[in-house]
Chain A
Amino acid sequence: MLKLNHIYKWVNSGGRRVFLLNDLSVKVEEGEFLSVMGPSGSGKSTLLNIIAMLDDFQEGEYYFENEPIHDLKPKKRTEIFNQNIGFIFQAYHLLDDLTVYENIETPLLYKKVKSSERQALVADILDRFNIVGKKDLFPHQLSGGQQQLVGIARALIIKPKLILADEPTGNLNSKQSDEIMQLFKELNGEGVTIIQATHSESNAAYGSRTIHLLDGSVQKS
């Protein structure tokens, strides 16, 4: 599905080059559930951002479904991103001013989906995640687990081929965490490709494959 070849990314700090990613190569097949592990600062988030096309890299090649992302214009990249990828954050990043329903609906608005279709899609997903009763609440009225559930629902509403989850359970307790992981496994079973970054061995175990990062490179496992 996607292939990263010899990616380098660095920032200049105090006149010195600090490498965030250092000669990183990864290949992800369709239908995989990949867990990315590593200590803080090893480059997990950077990797996810690059896959999500939200961040640039200085050297290397990135193919997404055989499209050479590194050669594309930002506009085209954004288009591919919007069509294919759902992003889930550690800090949920729900829009505070919107209700659960509206948060989930927002990506559809931006895709200019018709109103009736929007309603049906949002209703489906609320149903599926068992949060119909919470649809008119605002994010600050929900627990962390519930917020993350909404975050996932919002990522799934556009029916992405790939879900990127950056420490999705980092702010949750273990019970909530297990529920979310269970949900990911189900989704994966339905054919959605998932890449998650995580600290937790037990979370990583839900994945079909795990890679370890250290100082911006993949460790031999």
Chain B
Amino acid sequence: MLKNFIKISWRKIKADKTFSFINIFGLSIGISITLLLALFIMQEHSFDKMYANKERIYRVIFNTTEQHNNEIWATVPAALKPAAEEAIPEVQKSARLWDHDFGKTASIEAENEQFTEPKLYYADPEFFDIFQLKFVYGNSKNQLNRPNTAVLSESTAIKYFGKGNPIGKTISIDNDLKMEITGVYNDFPANSSLDGNIIGSFKSVGFYKEPSWSNASFETYFLLNKNADPATVTGKMQNLIDANVEKEDQWYTLDLQPLEKMHLYSANIKSAYTSKLGSIEEVRNLSLLAFLILLIACINYMNLATARSQKSTKDVGINKTLGASGKMLIARFFTETAFVTLIAIVLALFFTFLSLPVFEKIIGNSLSTSSLISFEFLAAIIGIWLTTTLIAGSFPALHLSRFSPMEVIRSGRDKESFTALLRKGLVVVQFSASVILIIAAVVIYNQLEFMRNKNLGYNPENTMAVSISALTSNAEKETLINQFQNLPEVSSATMAQGYPGISVSGRTLYKNLNSHESISLQTNRARGGVVETLQLTLLAGKDLPKHKQEGDSIVDVLLNKNAVDFLGITPEEAIGKNIDANLGPNAYVVGVVDDFNFSSLRSPIGAYAFNNGFEPLRYMLLRFKSEELPATLEEFKTTFADIAPAVAFDYSFLENNVEQMYAREKRTARAALIFAGLAIFVACLGLFGLAAFMAEQRTKEIGVRKVLGASVSSIARLLSKDFMILVLISLIIAFPLAYWLAGRWLQEFAYRVNIGWPVFVLAGCSAILIALITVSFQAIKAAVSNPINSLRSE
């Protein structure tokens, strides 16, 4: 019987090519999008699942108190590891990780060649036991036991030393630290949160000798004993804090985060080292999107199936008189749907392969193609097949099989009202979903444009940050900045610890010298020229001084408006004031600048202070004239190489860094735009088919009307009117929903656009226009046909 059903299905597909094309093509687009998103979602969920001990590995999490805005950090004090190993028996092994120079790109010299390396970590030897990394050269035992040793990932080893065993060779880091290579490990897989290219021994860094409880800068991983309860460990960590940190200095607590949650559940965790951060929110949104598009495609199928139900109902009647039971007919309709869906899936797989590169671009993430042949993917395909069949086949199967045979044979139609209503309802659902997607895409795009064009309070254009950490002496830095300042292309230059957009030092600003009232303060060591180079607005006082005497204990501070507001004084009153901000006893305000967005526009502006205190100056900031950028860059490179031949010229444009901050939004905007487009396209396919059917059904009516003297336009209007009403209803449903959803998304930003009426007008008009074009094509075709033809065929 199954064979028979399939045979009938195939003949039906062949018999009505337009309908079949719309059905199958629409479904396959829906399915291929779902498949692509499923691939992405699977990849996100597969993160860090490759580590054998994954259930027992935890990252220690740092929860700050309210004074520090309850921030959560991924980095903890270095003193925790030795203390935990001694006092917490549940901790079987533990390892610290330190991101080179607090996250700075390292300058590496290997075999007299310079490289920049953003992914250099220092780790304790236990790191390899915990994660059980595989080694290409050397082995995981006894690695990193000695200071000044390092292991490389396979691809990095090839980059530095070519193919072959590099053990025993050395690299130099930032022109300073010499490291002996003791092993080469397999590259971390694409779906691993750990992403180091070089791992040096933790014993090589100063923090090893004097681990403190106050500098929380180290990712720390625990391997717990089997059956150990993480809650117990958390409790014991608190005991350690109590034992080692004075009560009033306890501005944090510690907690454990399971390795398997690291990728998707760390969106609110700051200072994590990995560059591969996922978001469960995004995964959920995309799952919803996938389902929505699949639903739109399924609705097409249902609509066309019910539109054609006249013929089907007659078939049902005949089959029933030939002895078919209701169950058999249900089975038949589902077989038919399953068959069509199967064809669509095969087509969709083909589309998926074709569009994979484009999709990877949209989501800005590479997908491992091996997952295309994995068991999970197969399961996903079968899952999608069954879901689609169930949704799309439900209506024809359950509705049509119920008829009493005589009734349908005689009249050849079922009670139109119900199917017609359902069909209309489904069109409304489709269009509402499409309109919501359009509005979402436009709002996201607007917000992106807003962020790109907002006056940030400083000017990131034509500004470059050159890394100078690897320069060995202050004299070298001085020579370099002088050389740069002498170049005609450079309009101003300064040196700083960091620049807006990257994290600098976190300190605390107290209201007055004896007060406990405080806010957290970002401090950035800089020197004179910072106001001019970043084009900050000076409200009172002056810029930091250009030079400072060696050993001078006075720290000059340039506060922002927000910090001065907290102190409760005017910018003018602030000048010359001694402030308590953990910058030593002699910190005096020399100037006040207006607020500027030193972090992303997601968060409001906080307190910020440039100062000439103690941190190393890591960057040279250069404001240059914009003409002939490539030549300017070449000039800079030569100047740099003259002074520091052994250091790689590592630079970035502030403007690009700002763009980088919104990479995720850009990605979301692109995805929303493309998916909205596809959703509308699929919905229009359905509308097109439906309109064609309606026109066909009303052929006789149209013929009669034309004979009676109706004009082409009046008939086209007659046929389009019904659909337009449906689209209008969709708009009414979609607008408030879209407004609410977009508003919720915008909540994430401290600085955001208003969702104004133009968005809705735009979305509404485009939906109406698209629907009108689709429907009127059919309507006009029907209206211009010769009435005699249609009447004769009756």
Contacts and interface: CB of A to CB of B under 8 A. Distances in A.
A106 B319 contact: yes
Contact of A109 (B4, B12, B314, B321): B4
A98 interface: yes
A82 B323 contact: yes
B70 interface: no
Give the interface centre of B317, B318, B409 by most chain A CB atoms within 10 Å: B318
Contact of B318 (A49, A93, A102, A109): A93
B406 A102 contact: no
Contact of A107 (B12, B314, B323): B323
Contact of A111 (B317, B323, B405): B323
Given A95-B318, A97-B11, A97-B12, A110 B324 contact: yes
A44 interface: no
Contacts of B321: 52, 54, 87, 93
B8 interface: yes
Interface string B1-35: 10010011001100100000000000000000000
Residue among B8, B12, B322, B405 with max Cβ neighbours from chain A (10 Å) = B322
A158 interface: yes
A74 to B, nearest CB: 9
A124 interface: no
A41 to B, nearest CB: 14
B264 interface: no
A208 interface: no
**Which secondary structure dominates chain B's binding surface?**
helix
A154 B4 CA distance: 16
A67 interface: no
Interface in B308-327: 314-315, 317-319, 321-325
A89 B317 CA distance: 12
Which of B7, B8, B315, B406: most chain A CB closer than 10 A? B406
A95 B317 CA distance: 10
A109 B315 CA distance: 16
A119 interface: no
Interface in A84-124: 87, 89, 93-95, 97-98, 102, 105-107, 109-112
Interface string B296-318: 00000000000000000011011
Interface of A: 49, 52, 54-55, 78, 81-82, 87, 89, 93-95, 97-98, 102, 105-107, 109-112, 154, 158
Interface of B: 1, 4, 7-8, 11-12, 15, 314-315, 317-319, 321-325, 328, 404-406, 409
Given A97-B12, A107-B322, 17 more contacts: A54-B405, A78-B325, A87-B321, A93-B317, A93-B318, A93-B321, A95-B315, A95-B319, A97-B8, A97-B315, A105-B4, A107-B323, A109-B1, A110-B322, A110-B328, A111-B323, A112-B1
26 contacts: A49-B406, A54-B405, A54-B406, A82-B323, A89-B409, A93-B317, A93-B321, A93-B409, A94-B318, A95-B318, A95-B319, A97-B11, A97-B12, A97-B315, A102-B4, A102-B7, A106-B319, A106-B322, A107-B322, A107-B323, A109-B1, A110-B319, A110-B322, A110-B325, A110-B328, A111-B323
